Amino acid sequence: MKEEALTGSSNSANALLAFTGLVVAIFMIIVVYGVDAAVTGVHDTFHDFRHSVGIQCH
């Protein structure tokens, strides 16, 4: 019984983690590393921010 409860709780937590992970991936690609093909100009816009937070740039 207790195991079922734990499994149910764990599933919803995992779904949230998966969703958050997806957001992380998209965020990393578009904002942190800046992909102009995805959103034009975003790479230049976040250039100073990227350098300030110590993410590799060019």
Q: Which of 6, 17, 22, 39 binds another protein (CB under 8 A)?
A: 17
Does position 35 interact with another protein (CB under 8 A)? The reply is no
> For residue 46, what are the CA distances in angstroms to 18, 43, 55?
26, 6, 11
Q: Cα–Cα distance between 47 and 40 in angstroms, integer? A: 13
> What x-and-dash track marks residues 38-57 binding another protein by CB under 8 A?
------xxxxxx-xxxxxxx
Closest to 28 in 3D by CA, of 51, 58, 50, 52: 50
Q: Give whichever of 1 and 53 is closer to another protein, judged by the CB atom.
A: 53
Q: Give whichever of 17 and 38 is closer to another protein, judged by the CB atom.
A: 17
